[in-house]
Structure 1
């Protein structure tokens, strides 16, 4: 089970947002944090705002561990250009993120498990590392044996999400092509993400 024993929906209430924009989120009914003091509104400090921005971004991608998330920041800082944009691109290149974006699975948590269990091929070879970095023009597909899984069929036919334009998908073949690394404005986050505050947090 690892580090994520709590229900993913508890992340929604803790952060005070419907992080994945899902209709089942309890935050839709109770727009406040859990616990007896959850309904108190306190103005956050600058540090608190930056921390919340980091937790939101980390949580969205399946609650990535702090060490790994810090490595993404370090890599984004080393690259040329805007560090915040670089960070978003690195996160969107994760194989589990691409599988989720392509609508092969219903959630980011399912995407991680789906990859780890060996259901995904990249350029014809099985890859079971969810943090694998997808390159431009890579072909990501669901293994032949896994294409009739109920979860896969329901996710691909769901009207809940749209596939972004930096990924090309053929749901009949269960194949996707990663066209290019996206910018922040290209990524269909259901909530407002502030990677610039994440950079400030680490800086």
Structure 2
């Protein structure tokens, strides 16, 4: 099990937003934060607070990846030519667990990480069990035969909660997806507003 699977909705509560757009999110019922002080009136957040929150929200969305991993991805985006915030989103969306989630092979990003870890996914015909594996344009991602009839997979494919984005070509009859291109922020179907520009500001100052 991944460390956050049982507590994933705590992230929603902490952010006060339904960051995955799921019907089961407790934020749909209670918009205040978790714990005994969760209902206290919120004061105006400082610039640092807004930047930190933007970072936590983006990290949380991709399965609450570790700070070390996230900082490494950010550092790579910063080294490349172009808009660092856009490049950061592109690198996050190229993670294999993110692609498996986007293709609707599993219901949650946490399930995607576990699904890849357990060896249920192939990339270009080879089994890959590293969730952070970086997919390239043109790569074919496929669910292995033994996993195609898993209840988890069938539930995800039939779920109306999410649509497959345009930068993926998916054939659910074969459980196969092709990664067509690296997306920018505007291409990614986030249920809530993500602000990678604030993440860039956070790391620039800290």
Q: TM-score under structure 1 normalisation?
A: 0.98
Q: Within 5 Å, give how 1:150-189 maps onto structure 2.
A: 150-189=151-190
The offset of 1:3, in angstroms, is 4.4
Aligned partners of 2:146 and 2:180: how far apart in 1? 26
Q: Within 5 Å, give how 1:105-184 maps onto structure 2.
A: 105-184=106-185
Preserved CA contact (<8 Å) 2:116 2:129: yes
Secondary structure of residue in 1 paired with 2:44: coil
Segments of 5+ residues of structure 1 without an aligned counterpart are none
Aligned partners of 1:132 and 1:31: how far apart in 2? 35
- The 1:2–1:115 alpha-carbon spacing in structure 2 relative to 1, beyond 3 Å, is closer
The offset of 1:36, in angstroms, is 2.5
Corresponding position of 2:69? 68
Runs ≥4 residues deviating over 4 A? none
> Which shows bigger deviation, 192-201 or 5-14?
5-14
**Number of residue equivalences:** 203
Segments of 5+ residues of structure 2 without an aligned counterpart are none
Corresponding position of 2:25? 25
Secondary structure of residue in 1 paired with 2:9: helix
Corresponding position of 1:98? 99
Corresponding position of 1:55? 56
Secondary structure of residue in 2 paired with 1:168: strand
Aligned partners of 1:109 and 1:92: how far apart in 2? 15
Aligned partners of 1:132 and 1:112: how far apart in 2? 11
Corresponding position of 1:36? 36
Aligned partners of 1:154 and 1:29: how far apart in 2? 24
Q: TM-score under structure 2 normalisation?
A: 0.96
Note the aligned Cα RMSD (angstroms).
1.0
Preserved CA contact (<8 Å) 2:2 2:110: no
